[in-house]
Structure 1
Amino acid sequence: MIVVHIDQIVFHVYEFSHFLYINNHQTLNAKQIQDDLLKEILTLNANTEYLYRFLHGSSDKELFKKHVPVVSYDDVKPYIERIANGGEPSDVLSGKPITGFLLSSGTSGGKQKIFPINNKFFEDMTFIFALRSQIIFRHIKDVQEGKAITFLFVKPQPTTLSGFPVSNALTKNKQAMYCHLLCGLVQRDEVVSLAAAFASSLVGAITFLENYWKEMCSNIRSGHVSEWISDLSCRDSVSIILGGPNSELAELIEKECNKKSWKGIITRLWPSTKFIQTTVTGQSAQYIPILEFYSNKLPLISPSYVSSETMFGVNVNPLCKPEDVSYTFIPTMSYFEFLLADEGNNDEIVDLVNVKLGSYYEPLITNYSGLHRYRMGDILQVTGFHNSAPQFRFVRRKSVVLSVNVEITTEEDILKALNHAKLVLKSSGLILMGFTCYADISTYPGHYVFYWELKATNINDTVQLDNKVLVDCCCVMEESFYPLYRALRGKNGPVGALEIRVVAQGTFDSLMEFFISQGASVSQYKPPICINSSEAVAVLEKNVIARFFSDKSPLLGSELRY
């Protein structure tokens, strides 16, 4: 479906009261549920080749904690590949039959991974998706019977060498995007929400609309789909929705799109829209200002925390500010442990119900598909509790940092600095559409390089680069970094002046195309905060149109972080 009924996405398996009962029961009895779940997983998997080495058939929790090691992807990759590509049986890793594999995007941690899944994964996904939808319905009235424009694109499933399906979420398709938006415009009065897995997909959709709205209006006026839409089944479906010529609608859309600014364009084109559902935590937070600009500050709902490894939990307060989003962990999804991420932690590991308010942790996952004490690489902070189940704020990916000397600049540091720079940028009538960065150590001293794609606030204006504004942005970002960075950035220090390289419009589309060519997908794709690939840097470098450097050393602070 191109424009679908909300209740088609929701999986109406239960009434909300039943979901509420289940959720309360789970969060009230989190410890017992977690202990029982671990016992079940170990009973199923204790005799697998992987786990038998450590437990010798036992399902005892204390033996599990004492003997089963904490692992990363590289530790379990050989076992996964034996099943995926060698055709070996599932019991290499899992006591339940492996029915397929999920392919991660590779844009968060730098490389793609495949993870085994079985029916339990899909059962959990169905439950989480239904629960989060029912929570939204509880907070936002009169949306159940409306329609959602959901930006998802599919392609034929690839298979592993041994024949297993590999579900990497989806690929870009210009024809599908065009038809998707065209049908959304025709049914504009019925649309109550816009949705995508990640905020970058929504921003990309609006950018696409900016480029094609005139042609879409022509289609609506004539009642015929453009000839370059070559897929016959797609043409037939869209033609039915078009339903013949509609000059009045075409003129209305033209009037809105022809205005000087596209501020609030979402609510102007889809007046019944009540919320936007997409991930705006972590690195996706960079898109909050542009989505608020396009939507007239509609609620931006980050509904759930899920991954290829497991479902984690849901946002029980969907109307909170994007920066306040926390996720309540559901204890039936996987067995959760947490490695304290604070310095000097001595590798302390605690169970789900024993985490402490305000502390930072990296989750460890034990699931039904063969991952045991698997390090996620995410850093989370405990923000509260829903009954006995903790709530977590996503802070950053552990592996994504910048450093040219001994300083460590995290994803959280970068996003904070970027938000400060956006306040300076706003005065020049420009919007930041996309960014990424890397540590350039090809010369001494090494320095941070930020690639920015900019756009004028007014739709028909060209981008005018003001040297003072961009240099001030460089300086403000440096002032936002931690004291150790500022100390090393002093005169003749080992860290050079921060640089902003402005790239031509459309560059970040080219960057997405590059990652898609490497196996990533549109629905999963998130522009990487930090670039580690020389080929990706080359895509950006050929589109650089201007360079700006910080022109002063940042002020020093009294606290140094090592």
Structure 2
Amino acid sequence: MKPISDNNERWEEKLKDLTINVKQIQDKLLEEILTPNLKTEYLQRFNIDRFDKELFKKNVPVVTYEDLKPYIDRVVNGESSDVISARPITGFLLSSGTSGGAQKMMPWNHKYLDNLTFAYDLRKHVVTKHVKGLEEGKGMMFLFTKQESITPSGLPARVATSSYFKSDYFKNRPSNWYYSYTSPDEVILCPNNTQSLYCHLLCGLVERDEVVRMGSIFASVMVRAIKFLETYWEELCLNIRSGQLSEWITDLGCRNSVSLVLKEPLPELADTIETICKQNSWKGIVTRIWPKTKYIETVVTGSMGQYVPTLNYYCSDLPLVSTTYGSSETTFGINLDPLCKPEDVSYAFMPNMSYFEFIPMDGDKRDVVDLKDVKLGCTYEPVVTNFAGLYRMRVGDLLLVTGFYNNAPQFKFVRRENVVLSIDADKTNEEDLFKAVSQVKLVLDASELILVDFTSYADTSTFPGHYVLYLEVKAKEGENKKQKKYLELNEEAFSKSCLVMEDSLDNVYKRCRFKDGSIGPLEIRVVRQGTFDSLMDFFISQGASIGQYKTPRCIKSEKAFEFMEACVVAKFFSS
């Protein structure tokens, strides 16, 4: 094995090359992608008979997933990969979901895992430069797999992380600190996420003195793990005290592998953990149980930013490190300043991952530019051409150029396009919200109530977080009935509205809500009459134009949230 210093020097040279020679690497990469694929049905359609970058950009249109879906579906249903890709497609990656409720299925081959593994190795190097002493311990990482499905073609459809954890890349990973976890692989591969999470915690508690970093893919999972510990710490202590795993852990992989970690009764360790967990306040609980932890590695950008205050509370303000920006389409970039504040996270795009173009949000959207041509301070939507049959496909993220590392642009994630509510993997946009509220209107109408206006809020003050819908209603009769009276008369209508609302949201929401348990019951908060008129006055007082004012369909401002809360007269939850 090469000395760590030699490896660091090698990776530093690689990083320097990638971030200086951006144009050359991107142009060469596009040639590598296109040349084998010139005979594919998709590219033939646009008269691409040779590699020519300008011809490609002139003839091949910028598209959405829906434009490519008919071609992808043909491969899903058993046609040859060369409909879109000369390289064999070996499976499909499932995205978090679309406005229609169906998950996107991205064609996938092992080039994706090559890139992902490269990104993991690069981020290991970057973190090592900023955090010392990591080689002396293990990571307590809450990593999970989801059950896959088999498409009519016989190829698997999985989420990206499951594809990695079930691959030889993970099985044969290097034996260095970055890939050393307190949990055995069998716990990560366990198909039952509840049993897996319990075993992650148990192994991490048994090996508490070896934990130097902790994390999960997304911040919501990290919060969920802490809340799970809050519920199960007494049982976990019993397991540690007795040296025996709870009987309800029935997965054989978990039972056999965890028993090797939990080798014998450890009463003193159980006493220590019990003493810590029995204290009234759980503030700083992570550093009290795992005192050698140096940072938390998890995505805290985008919709995950809402979990930062909760993590700061439980983790004693340990650095929250967002290392990588990726999606089902590609890996995009690396955070080269891992110890920065969550609100300052930017990702340097790596030009060897995919061919990147950008649609400017601040100017003519037809003027699509290359990676090297983006401008500081401008906002863009990335467009991806990759090795698995996606050509000039819009990703749907909005990114702000915050700077450059050598010649490589650094982007801050701004938001998903048109997403208004998100707790976990769910992405509810304004159209989804209006469709669901239209069903609520029907319920209210049948109860002689009229919906005056509405807005929403993603409440993460408790875990799991949940959707909140603020409704202003009035009686159809037009009489000056007291609001309290008809609220009492129509409690059934509002409770039913909660159920109808949830039933109208997409499949990803329903999976998170009813299967994964990562979203709590939807809540309707009824506000007093006149609230939305007052809300308009509030925003105008804050500088909004009365001529351009539109009711916000999701409350983002803390002051606006406090205003709405002061107007709430009744609350109802989905059963």
Range class of TM-score, shorter chain: 0.7 to 0.9
Name the amino acid aligned to 2:115: D
Contact 2:322/2:338 (<8 A) preserved: yes
Q: In the alignment, which residue of structure 1 is the partner of 2:44?
A: 52
Matches within 5 A, 1:289-308: 289-308=309-328
Q: In the alignment, which residue of structure 1 is the partner of 2:456?
A: 449
TM (norm. structure 2) is 0.73
Deviation at 1:150, TM superposition (A): 1.2
Q: In the alignment, which residue of structure 1 is the partner of 2:489?
A: none
Looking at structure 1, the residues matched to 34 and 125 of structure 2 have their Cα atoms a distance apart, in angstroms, of 33
Deviation at 1:232, TM superposition (A): 3.5
Aligned to 2:283, what secondary structure does the other structure show?
coil
Contact 2:240/2:270 (<8 A) preserved: yes
Deviation at 1:134, TM superposition (A): 1.4
Q: 1:100 aligns with which of 73, 85, 91?
A: 91
Q: What does the per-residue CA deviation read over 1:76-113, in whole Å, with 9 as the maximum and x for residues that have no partner?
A: 1111111112x211111012111211111227995411
Please tell me whether residue 31 in structure 1 is matched to residue 23 in structure 2.
yes
Contact 1:108/1:397 (<8 A) preserved: no
Q: What does the per-residue CA deviation read over 1:53-92, in whole Å, with 9 as the maximum and x for residues that have no partner?
A: 113412111111111101001111111111112x211111
Q: What does the per-residue CA deviation read over 1:107-149, in whole Å, with 9 as the maximum and x for residues that have no partner?
A: 7995411111122111111100110111111110011231111
Aligned to 2:332, what secondary structure does the other structure show?
strand
TM (norm. structure 1) is 0.74
Looking at structure 2, the residues matched to 118 and 451 of structure 1 have their Cα atoms a distance apart, in angstroms, of 36
Q: In the alignment, which residue of structure 1 is the partner of 2:340?
A: 320
Looking at structure 1, the residues matched to 516 and 119 of structure 2 have their Cα atoms a distance apart, in angstroms, of 18
Question: Which shows bigger deviation, 393-402 or 315-324?
Answer: 393-402
Q: Among all aligned residue pairs of Structure 1 and Structure 2, give the percentage whose two residues are the same amino acid.
A: 49
Q: 2:210 aligns with which of 190, 198, 201?
A: 190
Contact 1:150/1:194 (<8 A) preserved: yes
Please tell me whether residue 124 in structure 1 is matched to residue 124 in structure 2.
no
Question: Which shows bigger deviation, 57-66 or 285-294?
Answer: 57-66
Looking at structure 2, the residues matched to 69 and 523 of structure 1 have their Cα atoms a distance apart, in angstroms, of 39
Q: In the alignment, which residue of structure 1 is the partner of 2:229?
A: 209
Contact 1:105/1:519 (<8 A) preserved: no
Aligned to 1:390, what secondary structure does the other structure show?
strand
Aligned to 2:521, what secondary structure does the other structure show?
helix
Q: What does the per-residue CA deviation read over 1:367-388, in whole Å, with 9 as the maximum and x for residues that have no partner?
A: 1111111000000000001111
Question: Which shows bigger deviation, 301-310 or 42-51?
Answer: 42-51
Looking at structure 1, the residues matched to 514 and 408 of structure 2 have their Cα atoms a distance apart, in angstroms, of 33
Contact 1:106/1:520 (<8 A) preserved: no
Q: In the alignment, which residue of structure 1 is the partner of 2:447?
A: none
Contact 1:363/1:379 (<8 A) preserved: yes
Q: In the alignment, which residue of structure 2 is the partner of 1:179?
A: 199
Deviation at 1:446, TM superposition (A): 2.4
Contact 1:338/1:349 (<8 A) preserved: yes
Q: In the alignment, which residue of structure 1 is the partner of 2:251?
A: 231
Matches within 5 A, 1:136-175: 136-155=127-146, 157-168=148-159, 169=161, 173-175=193-195
Looking at structure 2, the residues matched to 522 and 66 of structure 1 have their Cα atoms a distance apart, in angstroms, of 46
Looking at structure 2, the residues matched to 437 and 323 of structure 1 have their Cα atoms a distance apart, in angstroms, of 30
Instruction: Calculate the aligned-residue CA RMSD, in Å.
Output: 3.4
1:279–1:129 CA distance, 2 compared to 1 (3 A) = same
1:156–1:445 CA distance, 2 compared to 1 (3 A) = closer
Q: What does the per-residue CA deviation read over 1:482-521, in whole Å, with 9 as the maximum and x for residues that have no partner?
A: xxxxxxxxxxxxxxxxxxxx99xxx9xx99x995796679
Question: Which shows bigger deviation, 169-178 or 244-253?
Answer: 169-178
Looking at structure 2, the residues matched to 108 and 139 of structure 1 have their Cα atoms a distance apart, in angstroms, of 40
1:555–1:120 CA distance, 2 compared to 1 (3 A) = closer
Deviation at 1:154, TM superposition (A): 2.5
Structure 2 unmatched runs, 5+: 163-190, 422-426, 442-449, 464-469, 471-493, 550-575
Matches within 5 A, 1:235-274: 235-274=255-294
Looking at structure 2, the residues matched to 64 and 148 of structure 1 have their Cα atoms a distance apart, in angstroms, of 45
Aligned to 2:256, what secondary structure does the other structure show?
helix
Looking at structure 2, the residues matched to 158 and 287 of structure 1 have their Cα atoms a distance apart, in angstroms, of 31
Aligned to 1:364, what secondary structure does the other structure show?
strand
Structure 1 unmatched runs, 5+: 1-6, 403-410, 415-435, 457-473, 475-501, 528-538
Aligned to 1:51, what secondary structure does the other structure show?
helix
Deviation at 1:177, TM superposition (A): 1.3
Deviation at 1:265, TM superposition (A): 0.6
Aligned to 1:540, what secondary structure does the other structure show?
coil
1:306–1:260 CA distance, 2 compared to 1 (3 A) = same
Q: In the alignment, which residue of structure 2 is the partner of 1:114?
A: 105
Contact 2:213/2:296 (<8 A) preserved: yes
1:79–1:439 CA distance, 2 compared to 1 (3 A) = closer
Looking at structure 2, the residues matched to 522 and 193 of structure 1 have their Cα atoms a distance apart, in angstroms, of 31
Looking at structure 2, the residues matched to 451 and 383 of structure 1 have their Cα atoms a distance apart, in angstroms, of 27
Contact 1:153/1:172 (<8 A) preserved: no
1:547–1:293 CA distance, 2 compared to 1 (3 A) = farther
Deviation at 1:234, TM superposition (A): 2.1
Name the amino acid aligned to 2:220: S
Looking at structure 1, the residues matched to 260 and 87 of structure 2 have their Cα atoms a distance apart, in angstroms, of 45
1:206–1:401 CA distance, 2 compared to 1 (3 A) = closer
Looking at structure 1, the residues matched to 296 and 462 of structure 2 have their Cα atoms a distance apart, in angstroms, of 22
Q: What does the per-residue CA deviation read over 1:241-282, in whole Å, with 9 as the maximum and x for residues that have no partner?
A: 122222211111111111111110110111110000010000
Name the amino acid aligned to 2:141: T
Q: What does the per-residue CA deviation read over 1:286-339, in whole Å, with 9 as the maximum and x for residues that have no partner?
A: 000000101000000000111110111100000000000000000011111100
How many residue pairs match? The answer is 457
Name the amino acid aligned to 2:414: V
Matches within 5 A, 1:410-489: 440=437, 442=441, 443-450=450-457, 452=459, 454-455=461-462
Contact 1:256/1:269 (<8 A) preserved: yes
Contact 1:336/1:363 (<8 A) preserved: yes
1:522–1:263 CA distance, 2 compared to 1 (3 A) = farther
Looking at structure 2, the residues matched to 97 and 281 of structure 1 have their Cα atoms a distance apart, in angstroms, of 34
Aligned to 2:452, what secondary structure does the other structure show?
coil
Looking at structure 1, the residues matched to 507 and 138 of structure 2 have their Cα atoms a distance apart, in angstroms, of 31
Name the amino acid aligned to 2:397: D
Name the amino acid aligned to 1:283: S
1:37–1:55 CA distance, 2 compared to 1 (3 A) = farther
Q: In the alignment, which residue of structure 2 is the partner of 1:276?
A: 296
Please tell me whether residue 64 in structure 1 is matched to residue 56 in structure 2.
yes
Looking at structure 2, the residues matched to 319 and 108 of structure 1 have their Cα atoms a distance apart, in angstroms, of 35
Name the amino acid aligned to 1:540: P
Q: In the alignment, which residue of structure 1 is the partner of 2:68?
A: 76
Aligned to 1:54, what secondary structure does the other structure show?
coil
Looking at structure 2, the residues matched to 388 and 524 of structure 1 have their Cα atoms a distance apart, in angstroms, of 42
Please tell me whether residue 386 in structure 1 is matched to residue 386 in structure 2.
no
